[in-house]
Amino acid sequence: MGYAQLYDSMICWYRRWYSQPSYLHFMAATALALFMLLNVLTLLNLAALLGLGNWVMARAPALPLPVGGVLWAANLSFGYWRSRHPEPRGAAAQSRKPAIRYMVVSFLVFLVSCALLVALKASGAVGF
């Protein structure tokens, strides 16, 4: 339910700039997949901060592409389903604020986790 509201909010946000609805679902699904991948990378950074650095470094180069592909496929399939089965009028999100907040918070948390990882690696507190 929360994802559907976020997706509808993203559609509302993109509808503000694009009058042609043909690519709205594709753009919303792609943007959400990108930010979900950013969240996965944030989790990898946090795992490295918690001392799982060797495990993360051994698997990190192989993770982004398959995880990103799975997230993108899942989001596209949901977008396809949502475009074929729209919410009843008035039930869909009418505000773009949840989507904007999700994107901003995801990006800021990723930046903070990267900054912490770099700072702790430079100080020698995190070794891998």
The per-residue pLDDT for 69 is 78
Share of the chain above pLDDT 70, in %: 77
CA 102/CA 28 separation, integer angstroms: 13
Average pLDDT over residues 30-52: 82
Q: Token pair of 51, please?
A: 């001392």
> What is the pLDDT, as a whole number, of residue 126?
64
pLDDT of residue 50: 79
Asked whether residue 19 carries a pLDDT value surpassing 80, the answer given is no
Give dist(CA 36, CA 43) in Å, integer.
11
The DSSP secondary-structure symbol of 96 reads: S
Contacts of 50 (CB under 8 A, 6+ apart): none
Q: Is the pLDDT of residue 88 over 70?
A: no
Model pTM? 0.72
Instruction: Give the domain ranges of the chain.
Output: 2-123
